[in-house]
Structure 1
């Protein structure tokens, strides 16, 4: 008897809770029927079935609707056993249009209007931004022909622009950026990818230089006299001058002469090199604040060469060293500035920022900075990602050259006019981009390639 009474009490409590729930739902439905705007938060829909149907807008700019069909649980079943909602999608949420009130007349969604067919495209003239730059970069000539007192077969020109790089809408590049390939006068440790690319010529700098010219088509050579370093071979300035003299006889294009990085030894070496190569307009790389700058300028002026000034990613340093060289008598067309290039992933953004600020300041009228810029993209190989053997990073023979090419391309966007590079593939990539910059129009480059695809059915590859 006790169990029967408990069971009846439990059933009465359940019926009471169910009646209260139905009243809550009825009150909510009544409230929804009188509301203009609803905002829901933490809503839970208890239903056996929920269907959401997308109703496309009646016009391109018309509203979008969603139709919600719900088969509820624990509430009085409407006719058909389901409730229907029409929601209008607004930028801020949803707006309920048809609350599910028993007996209410459902709203009629406007019919879908036919989308008008496209008649023609509206032609709008695009106007390039109006930009004016009152400054321009000096044009520097590297090398001298026989008529100019030298022995080179051609002359390399860099600089001369009066606009930022890639701003084709302001005009075309005056002199495309040039690519120099590095050659070292003694054997030094090199990444595997570089050794494989050059093979046996690495032991002979003159054959190495010829391969760079004949096979890779380098614009010029960067001949580094690293053997003069007191910590390596400590080759005398006289012997270094003989190496340069032999290089002059081996190749007939202009080239850069690099030192060992020791400011005292480099100055002694440059003095001898400049003398044996008088009037050849070689680039003597590099002069720094740690060097005897007046003596360096004296050598450059006396034997008619070009100065390359090296600073370390600092606009103030760049301005100071260029001003110093000019005050000592060098004209802007005899100066190249190297703001230092950090490897991709190892500070490239700092190099880019410094170079970009230098170039923009020059174009805005700062005469101290109106000289071409050089980029030592070879520094990319200092990054372990360029040469380290790790399968997850991909093959080194591709990864390394791409690392160097991207480093150079980054500086190209900042305004570099001259690139010192090492891997043939990287140099070829960058040179192809600079050659594209030289074209008058894009069609000059792609017209031939596009025409070949017109006959794609019969074309054989």
Structure 2
């Protein structure tokens, strides 16, 4: 008996959000079904993450990138070329007041240099300090006006500054960070739209965790968000989801422990890639429209997975 796929019809639809400009621009979202269950061809854009501070990265990245690790622009170019990523994220980690406390001006210059070095859309992540990120991402938005970048991410403590500068004054896209909580996700999306940011210019950064480290909360949150946006036609939860799992996957013991520390676990690089691909794959089938990883081989694996499912 031939297999007949049963399709569930939904009244809602996920917004389509375009990032980047010109021939390099990509559109994420736009589906009206749960992941890979509809006829519209759900797919996930795959990005690669770099940072302006890589001192604590696994040794394997030194083998992959060499001296480019010390130059964010060169690293960005190499990362895209080696991975075939659809877009790139630069984390301005050095801006952290509790770390290097690099100046806003220096970090903005880094973002501008990275954007000029690549031919794919850019996502700019702050340092996760709300006050510093408000100042930093506003200046990044201004310096990259017309480039249609994503400011990653606004939180409740700084959404007014980032939303006003990113989504309104300088025409950038704004990611709203809600730390694995559907109610916070909805609230922040509402606050941004009330501020004046258009729904099509908002992405959801709902958070993540490495598989095996509380990922069930991520899975249930993504499911609830997607079912509310599609099944209940909740416009405040119809923004595409962008998920950066690079730090989570490469920060757990399976990826951090060296071969000398845990010889029974095998090659450290393979473990790190395995954790990253497993986590990314789970996010993809959960409904993430754009997934961000660190290792070039992880990008290739997830792109192959998505292509294989779509057929």
Displacement of 1:126: 4.1
User: For residue 264 of structure 2, what is the aligned residue in structure 1?
Assistant: 392
The Cα RMSD (Å) is 1.6
Aligned position for 1:295: 161
Deviation at 1:234, TM superposition (A): 1.6
Give the conservation status (yes or no) of the 8 Å contact 1:179–1:420.
Answer: yes
How far apart, CA to CA, are the structure 2 residues paired with 1:197 and 1:346? Answer: 28
Question: Could you list the per-position Cα deviations for residues 357-404 of structure 1 after superposition, in whole angstroms to 9, with x for gaps in the alignment?
Answer: 111111111111001111122111121012313122222121110110
* Cα deviations by residue, 1:87-145 (Å, 9 ceiling, x for unpaired): xxxxxxxxxxxxxxxxxxxxxxxxxxxxxxxxxxxxx3544335211111000001122
What is the rounded CA distance, in whole Å, between the counterparts of 1:434 and 1:295 in structure 2? 36
CA distance in 2, matches of 1:206, 1:295: 27
- Residues 1:245 and 2:115 are matched in the alignment: no
Match of 2:244 among 376, 389, 395: 376
Question: How many matched pairs?
Answer: 305
Whether contact under 8 Å (1:274, 1:303) holds in the other structure is yes
Task: Tell me, yes or no, if the aligned pair for 1:194 and 1:422 is still in contact at 8 Å.
Answer: no
Q: Which of structures 1 and 2 has the larger relative contact order (alpha carbons within 8 angstroms, sep 6+)?
A: 2
Structure 1 equivalent of residue 212 of structure 2 = 345
Q: State TM-score, norm by structure 1.
A: 0.64
Report what 1:407 is aligned to.
279
Structure 1 segments unaligned to the other structure (5+ residues): 1-123, 146-152, 443-461
Structure 1 outlier segments of 4+, above 6 Å: none
CA distance in 2 between partners of 1:382 and 1:187 (Å):
13
Corresponding residue SS for 2:161: helix
In structure 2, C-alpha distance between the alignment counterparts of 1:376 and 1:281, rounded to whole Å: 19
Aligned residue for 2:31, secondary structure, equals: coil
Shift of 1:232: 2.1
TM-score (norm 2): 0.93
Question: For the structure 1 residues 127 and 393, does the alpha-carbon distance in structure 2 shift closer, same or farther, using more than 3 Å as the test?
Answer: same
The answer for the alignment partner of 1:132 in structure 2 is: 9
Distance 2:269 2:94 in 1: 28
Structure 2 residue matching 1:223: 3-state secondary structure? strand
2:289 aligns with one of 417, 422, 433:
417
Distance apart, 1:157 and its partner CA: 1.0
Residue 160 (structure 1) aligns with: 30
Aligned pairs (5 A) from 1:282-321: 282-291=149-158, 293-300=159-166, 301-321=168-188
Q: Is the 8 A contact 1:229 1:260 kept in 2?
A: yes
* Equivalent-residue separation in structure 1 for 2:265 and 2:229 (angstroms): 40
Cα distance in 2 for partners of 1:321, 1:360 equals 18
Counterpart contact for 1:377–1:405, Cα < 8 Å? no
- Give distance in 2, aligned partners of 1:130 and 1:336: 26
One of 259, 262, 266 as aligned partner of 2:126: 259
